[in-house]
Chain A
Amino acid sequence: NAGVTQTPKFQVLKTGQSMTLQCAQDMNHEYMSWYRQDPGMGLRLIHYSVGAGITDQGEVPNGYNVSRSTTEDFPLRLLSAAPSQTSVYFCASSSGSGDTGELFFGEGSRLTVL
């Protein structure tokens, strides 16, 4: 069972570079989201989507863009990376009905911005 798959697992960028973190899920989940995890800060919501074609901002959306063209994929884009975006990024999904809040997480993408 693949579940939620994130790529890449590790990435090093220079300030100002752009990149996309990929996220795919094979559980036919309507809800997908991106969190960042920083030491001592827990997980903070960046963007989320309740279905294809619908996205919205979370707690810390600045510097990130998302799109949801299919149910399966939810990429996270950094247009101009900054050192403050050094973090571990987690993609998560849920069925969005009944099992409210029961998120399934990917293994994470560790990003370092120099």
Chain B
Amino acid sequence: GQQLNQSPQSMFIQEGEDVSMNCTSSSIFNTWLWYKQEPGEGPVLLIALYKAGELTSNGRLTAQFGITRKDSFLNISASIPSDVGIYFCAGQLRGGSQGNLIFGKGTKLSVKP
């Protein structure tokens, strides 16, 4: 099946540091989304991107939809302990069924106070 390559797999950072993670694919996507999952809970949507080149912020989070439509990145500035969790990229393929998302394998973020 289609794959999203998400990196890094995990990150251990100091509080206050900036974080960057990305997803790439060999396929073209119509939509890129970034979700965060905390222990024992379902993923929660952070940012949705719908146009190539789109740059969107949500507080300390910034995400971009790559120009080629094959990649996206998420940046977190000035990390805090509550940023801990697993971050997933997800995309909807061009021509794919509406609503069906392909997920990356996640980036596990740990923040040391």
Interface residues in chain A, defined as those with a beta carbon under 8 Å from any beta carbon in chain B: 4, 31, 33, 35, 40-45, 48, 50, 56, 58-59, 90, 92, 94, 96-97, 99-108
Contacts and interface: CB of A to CB of B under 8 A. Distances in A.
Contact of B101 (A45, A96, A99, A108): A45
Interface of B: 1, 4, 6, 30-31, 33, 40-45, 48, 50, 88, 90-92, 97-106
Contacts of B97: 48, 50, 56
A38 to B, nearest CB: 10
A42 B103 contact: yes
Contacts of A92: 42
B103 A100 contact: no
Given A41-B105, A59-B1, A100 B40 contact: no
6 contacts: A42-B6, A42-B88, A42-B104, A100-B50, A101-B90, A101-B99
Contacts of A56: 97
